[in-house]
Structure 1
Amino acid sequence: MKRKSLLSMLLVGLMALSVVASGCIGGGENTKGAIAIVYDVGGRGDLSFNDMAYLGASRAAKDFNLELVELQSNSEDDYYKNLETLAKAGKYKIIIAVGFMMTDATKAIAQKYPEQKFAIVDGFDSEMPDNVMMILFKENEGSALAGALAGLIAANDGKNKVGIVLGMEIPVLYKFEAGYRFGIKWAEDYYKQKTGNDARVDVIYQYTGSFNEAAKGKAATEAQLQDGAWVVYQVAGGTGLGVFDAVKEYLNTRNRQMGPPFAIGVDSAQDWIKPGVIIASMMKRVDVGVYNAVKAVMDGTFKGGAVELGLKENGVGLSTVDDVMAMFNSLSEDTQKKKLQELGFNSKDELRQYLENTRNQVPSWIWQAVDELKQKIISGEIKVPAPTNKDSIEKVRQAQTWQEMEQLAG
């Protein structure tokens, strides 16, 4: 409950008003219509995936003078019911389903209500009706940068293990895992070329089976740190918040305020949650995808089918200090003051300086190397595998070099 209330406070500054199940943003007497969003079971308050979807929808509602209605799914049984409740109303310009788990329900309801436009985040079905836009991301590309960062930090510090804590074992998370492993192998190769020294960095991974249980994320991370993980990447929504807690406590017991070891955030620029602990975040711009879907409806360019956003489209990428501060600056004045006080800073400048100092714990050549990988992926010189089933992720796990992994990219 504490995290839920904290997020509620933070989002006050981002958008004026939101009421779950019947929220209204923008609109008023001059409203031009309404949009709706159905959250996955992780829900608002995960500080990552669902919250990023909310930010995109709420920004679109404000920009296009629309009412925003929100429905929360408390279990998988709610998906079909929530989507049909909205579709039956017949008043929404678009209904947005957040999460892979809603794929079947979205397909069924879209077939039943062919005049209603839908968008689904992370859901894909080759037989999806043409009134559904499927918003997909190249998480493998962004995660490759996270892996390169983790691998180079570990190798440079003489360590041989990094970790990754994931949520449910679903196809989209295989893409995160594969990209992370790819980046780590690329880092081994890069480190050898730069220093002349061999590096072997193994990956400890665990699927927790949950996106909303921080205690599970914390326990998984504690085990990985005990086993020698030097950087831990969280890919578990609200469960992943426990990753940050575990790394923070690990540092505290050693009387240290900054890593390494470090955590890597996911989906949003999470660095501000635990400054000194989170070295960067793999931003998955769900907000961009959701906003663009609403915009397409409003400007008459909406088309069904898959839209995939990668590094080139700014759909994924590692957070910068500017990204973190942009999010912080979007909060209300009162919220900023409260958050700074909680973190022990007297000003935003102190927070920015602390974030920069945290990044300075990592040599500049490592950041440059990560950017080099980014540019090669954007140019198409390097391709990162994107497995979506158990057989293909297992092949990535067995590969010994990034070049072997690249062959699996097709």
Structure 2
Amino acid sequence: MNAKLLGIIIAVVVVIIAVAAVYMAQRGGGGGASTSQPAQQTSSAQSASKGAVYVIYDIGGRGDLSFNDMAYLGASRAARDFGLQLVELQSKTQDDYLPNLRLAARSNPTLVVAVGFLMTDAVAEASKEYPNVRFAIIDGYVPNRTNVLSIQFKENEGSALVGALAALTAYYFNCTKVGIVLGMDIPVLWKFEIGYAYGVRWAQRYIAEHFGKNVTFTIYYVYTGSFNDPAKGKQAAQAMLAQGVCVIYQAAGATGLGVFDAVAEAGQAAGRTMGPPFAIGVDADQDYIKPGFILASMMKRVDVAVYKAVQMAVSGNFSGGLMLLGLKEGGVSVSTLDDLNQFLQLGIQAGAVKASDAQQIIQKVKQMRDSIPQWIWQAVDQLKQDIISGKVQVPLPTTRDQLLQYRQQLGLVGSG
């Protein structure tokens, strides 16, 4: 082999090795397996030049039609509006939280978003290790950290709206009993309970004012002690239904899935394809789960929260502390058909929902909503506007003594 040919061969080998090295670098290197992979990878050079928002998803990931999908909605819109790269990291187990946060923090991000209160401890640790990196956590609280924005919601305001919706709908169907099934007896859920009860009593006043009828609703409540036990939720809802309750709001996480089952089964046993009885969903748009039997959902707008956090980071107005989002800030809302359609489209993209099923669900929910008189939806919107303007202030219990006092004032009745 002559020297010229040998030189060409060596040059080709060098180019192949270089290309392979670049490829492996962009893939995150060789070696050991990773417990969590970004749904969308980006090189550090791209991130540094363009800026990047990292979203650390909780267990369940995209396609959950809940917090993770809502976080994606806000982050993708912010990335598009502000010219950022969106990088998604999935947590398969809680052990992935801190490694994912560290990976994001090392990549010179514009912002790192942690989805869910379960990441609170991991965010506290990562933000301490990387004091120059901006973090935002949804539903968690990391105090005394200037680089962490803790985002929480005024669930009492959103719960007041669905409380009014529940009572007015019950009144329309000649029913005077409504209920709420909750998870663990912890302060954050007190906001759901008391807000809901306040909305019910507001509806009583609305009925008296507009129809001249004095109606007193019985409001049942029960804490199941669990966020992950549908059987307990179903049992609690069945007990309420047996007492004549016709609308039940669930604020119990996965335990609330049992509430939906109980309500749908009761309706179907009565020969109905839609309520009453009705359930009301929580946190995300859950109307699709038992279409026709879920009146609406009280949504915590994680998409709005993520967008606001990214906007703050991009504009240079980011600061640590607590950000509370209520009706005025668009942080809570009552689900709409547009919300349902948006969620189902996400489900289709993730392979969790069939397109044909999505259309049937939308038609069923629309049919159910159309069966509810327009004056009910208008009344709920009036309450919303009164809360936003400050004309109406929904109670917010922060201590158990306050909780007990509000329960007495609003006349809640324990169930089960």
For the criterion TM > 0.5, the same-fold answer is: yes
Residues in 1 aligned to 2:287 and 2:280: alpha-carbon distance in whole angstroms: 8
CA contact 2:36–2:92 (8 Å) conserved in 1:
no
How far did residue 286 of structure 1 move?
0.8
Give the letter for the 2:192 counterpart: F
The one-letter code matched in structure 2 to 1:323 is D
Whether 1:366 and 2:358 are equivalent positions in the alignment is: no
CA distance in 2, matches of 1:40, 1:201: 39
* Number of equivalenced pairs: 375
CA change 1:366–1:268 in 2 (3 A) is: same
Change (3 A) 1:379 1:251: same
- Quote the offset at 1:240 in angstroms: 2.2
In structure 2, the CA distance between the partners of 1:74 and 1:229, relative to structure 1 (3 Å rule), is farther
Is 1:197 matched with 2:216? no
Structure 2 counterpart of 1:149, from 151, 158, 165? 165
Compared with structure 1, are the counterparts of its residues 265 and 277 closer, same or farther at alpha carbon in structure 2 (3 Å cutoff)?
same
Alignment counterpart, residue 52 of structure 1, candidates 70, 73, 80? 70
In structure 2, the residue matched to 1:5 is: none
Q: Secondary structure at the match of 1:272?
A: coil
Match of 1:121 in 2: 138
Change in 2 beyond 3 A, CA 1:214/1:38: farther
**CA–CA separation in structure 1 for the residues paired with 2:105 and 2:46:** 23
| Aligned partners of 1:133 and 1:305 also within 8 Å | yes
Counterpart AA for 2:365: L
- SS of 1:372's equivalent? helix
Which of the two has higher C-alpha Rg?
A: 2
**What letter is aligned with 1:392?**
Q
Select the residue among 277, 295, 313 that pairs with 2:311. Answer: 295
Q: 1:334 to 1:397 in 2, by over 3 A?
A: closer
Assess if the C-alpha contact under 8 Å between 1:36 and 1:86 holds in 2.
no
Aligned twin of 1:96:
113
The C-alpha deviation readout for 1:231-283, integer Å capped at 9, x for no partner, is 11122333322222221111111111010111111222222222211111112
**Aligned mates of 1:357, 1:88 — CA distance in 2:** 47
User: In the alignment, residue 49 of structure 1 is paired with which amino acid?
Assistant: F
The alignment status of 1:107 with 2:124, answered yes or no, reads yes
CA distance in 2, matches of 1:206, 1:376: 29
Counterpart residue type for residue 113 of structure 1: Y
Is 1:381 the counterpart of 2:391 in the alignment? yes
Report the CA distance shift for 1:333/1:303 in structure 2 as closer, same or farther (over 3 A).
Answer: closer
- Do 2:58 and 2:90's aligned partners in 1 also have CA atoms closer than 8 Å? no
Q: Determine if contact 1:36/1:95 at 8 Å carries over to the other structure.
A: yes
The answer as to whether partners of 1:138 and 1:310 remain within 8 angstroms in 2 is yes
Report the CA distance between 1:294 and its aligned residue: 2.7
Normalising by structure 1, we get a TM-score of 0.79
> Are the structure 2 counterparts of residues 337 and 231 from structure 1 closer, same or farther at C-alpha, using a change threshold of 3 Å?
closer
Conserved 8 A contact 1:145-1:318? yes
The answer to whether structure 1 residue 283 and structure 2 residue 299 are counterparts is yes
Q: Given the superposition, is the C-alpha separation of residues 325 and 84 from structure 1 closer, same or farther in structure 2, using an over 3 Å criterion?
A: closer
Q: Does residue 22 in structure 1 map to residue 37 in structure 2?
A: yes
Deviation of the 1:311 alpha carbon? 1.3
User: What is the CA RMSD across the aligned residues, in angstroms?
Assistant: 3.3
1:194 to partner: Cα distance: 2.4
Alignment equivalent of 1:250, drawn from 243, 249, 266? 266
Structure 2: how far apart are the matches of 1:401 and 1:379?
27
Residue from 179, 182, 186 that aligns with 2:195: 179
Identity within the alignment, %:
50
Corresponding position of 2:15: none
1:146 maps to a residue whose letter is: V
